[in-house]
Amino acid sequence: MNRLSVLLSTCMAASAALFSAPAFAATPPHFAIQGDQFLLDGKPYVIRSGEMHYPRIPRADWRDRLRKARAMGLNTITTYAFWNVSEPEPGKFDFSGNNDIAAFVRTAQEEGLNVIVRPGPFVCAEWEFGGFPAWLLRTPGLRARSYDPRFLAASAAWFKRLGQELAPLLSTRGGPILMMQVENEYGYVGNDRDYMEAIRKQMIDAGFDVPLFMSNGPGPTWMSRGALPGLVSVINFTGDAKKTERAFLRSAPMMQDMPKMAGEYWSGWYDRWSEPHKTRSTEEVTGAVGWMLDRGISFNLYMIDGGTNFGWMNGANNDDAKYLPVTTSYDYDSPIDEAGRLTPKYTALRKVIQAHLPKSERLPEPPTSSPTMAIPRFELHEAVSLLDALPSLSKPQTSLVPHGMEAFGQNYGLILYRKRLDADTKGTLDVSDVHDYATVLADGRPLGTLDRVKQEHAMPVDLPAGSTLDLLVENMGRINIGPGMEDDNKGITSAVQVDGMDLTGWTVYPLPLDDLSGLVFKADATPNDPAFWRGSFTIAHVAGTFLDMRGWHKGNVWINGHHLGRFWNIGPQQTLYVPASWLRKGRNDVVVLEMQPGGSHAIAGLKDPVFGTATQ
């Protein structure tokens, strides 16, 4: 008997001894773990879960997506709790609007779904900095995801505040939250048990008194490094039925006398800029889910609805020291697509789940797919140069040498480093390090770009004295897992040199671009440097759409004040999803920040997304 069963049995025995009369018999907990089974109201319970992330779906669409998940046959929704969206500055918490995780959980309950919450503090999720707030990087030497006391003090405050939101929603208090996860896939990167124990204790101290569990890759290597005694261990993997069987066989020694569960079965995959679009076959996914249901194994489909990395919130990978940012779309080839439409994968999974339902359970009919619409091509006739707009966008600061944006109190966006050259400057301009995409300009004239994806950091220059050198650097998303994550500061992180000599005395313009209301556009302007372009379109009814950005180069899009995210012509993503709830009948305003001159200044809305790279 494992530790969990011992604790449960001890509690029940004590209750029975104290109250021997039937009227005072101990009431079993709503959700419990006993031996190799999950129990719901004392009866064996197979968790059929799907992952859905509240910041990736507009709040107006939560109920629709949750209702669709329930109709597919799921009985549970799993979500991370995203620290960086809820504590954007130290001690300043925001659980309003799309950050309202408690409202998301309540909506799931109203739609007949239980909930599993994974509160981190690390979430990975191909999300900016793995869910950590960027302000952690303002403290030199602080090591996120470690036993560093400065980090643990910050994570404890996060859990404590999150507990105030979620405590009434725990199953121990009549709510839908059945379980919570400690950390996330820690076995991939470390084996510091003091750190893992500290996180577990912080969660308990925050009032999370539901069963806790841990997730790791399959097999004894990852599980032994990333698990704690007394906690259920679940495994994260993908593949067909045969690979699913192998994953559980490999993990069996670490899953004895506990329920078997796929904490993440990857039902699709995500995209990274410049790589081919990723999908996973319906046959593979349904075969694996059928295999698990045949054996009463619980699962969580990652993802049931991937959603979108709106704004600046995409993460990045660091594969073999190569930086690879994730796209704005997080469609993930999910059963419910980015626009809320039901896919063939959804229909096939519903059929498999339906065939395994208890006789007493009936699935609701699926809602209709969310509609999308085409929008005729429209021109963006008004523009303003980013350099001309600097006074309305930023307050300059001075610095002897360049520093990352975190040193200037900035978390996301772009940052401009300006230097007036005191002497003729000829040689190799070397920027170390470029995090992540730099546009180099002299007197407002583009000289070229330095792209971290391509590991570029140097270019030749020949500039006369008195020239103004501008280095405009975009944060393309912080690394969300693995080496390099702990010090992925953004902007210019070290030095700027020409032929080995440092350039000093910089004026720095932080550009978070969280307020564009001060921009002054001019009709028929033709800037030849990074610039904002503005246009509008009119619609008679509202539905989701995909803005076709083919013909543009690289940049960001805002619609009616909502930051849709990034576009980049290298693909694979060529369109940007616009939720229906962000549109309005009548006029809709679009602002595009285009980093390169030339190209198209027109956009159309499409019914379907477009994926493709320059080589496809």
Angle at 210 between CA 206 and CA 212, to 5 degrees: 90
Is residue 185 part of the annotated active site? The answer reads yes
69, 110, 111, 331, 340 from 64: Cα distances, Å = 9, 12, 9, 16, 8
Beta bridge partners of 177: 115, 170
CA distance 32 to 211: 7
H helical segments located in 214-266: 220-225, 241-251
DSSP at 106: H
**Going edge to edge, which strands form the sheet with 397-399?**
397-399, 506-511, 414-420, 468-474, 437-442, 445-451
Rg of the Cα atoms in the chain: 26
**78 alpha carbon, distance to own chain's centre:** 14
- What single-letter amino acid sits at 396? P
Tokens, residue 310: 């709106």
Q: Are 273 and 317 in contact (CB under 8 A)?
A: no
CA distance 571 to 594: 16
CA distance 160 to 509: 35
87, 128, 165, 264: which one is catalytic? 264
Tokens, residue 250: 């490999």
CA distance 431 to 76: 49
Find all residues with CB under 8 Å of 616, minimum gap 6, and list them.
Answer: 276, 571, 572
185, 382, 406, 486: which one is catalytic? 185
DSSP at 60: G
Contacts 24+ apart (CB under 8 A), 141-147: 143/486, 144/485, 144/486, 145/121, 145/189, 145/190, 145/195, 145/485, 145/486, 146/190, 146/192, 146/195, 146/486, 147/192, 147/194, 147/195, 147/198
Pairing of strands 212-216, 177-181: parallel
CA distance 122 to 186: 9
CA distance 477 to 488: 9
Torsion sign (Cα): 322, 325, 330, 333: negative
Pairing of strands 212-216, 506-511: unpaired
Find all residues with CB under 8 Å of 249, minimum gap 6, and list them.
Answer: none
Element (H, E) at 458: strand 458-463
Tokens, residue 190: 């470390």
Is residue 264 part of the annotated active site? The answer reads yes
CA distance 527 to 549: 19
Tokens, residue 141: 């030497």
* 456: exposed, middle or buried (Cβ count in 10 Å: 0-12, 13-18, 19+): middle
CA distance 133 to 128: 9
DSSP 543-577: -BEEEE-BTB-EEEEEETTEEEEEEETTSSB-EEE
Catalytic residues: 185, 264
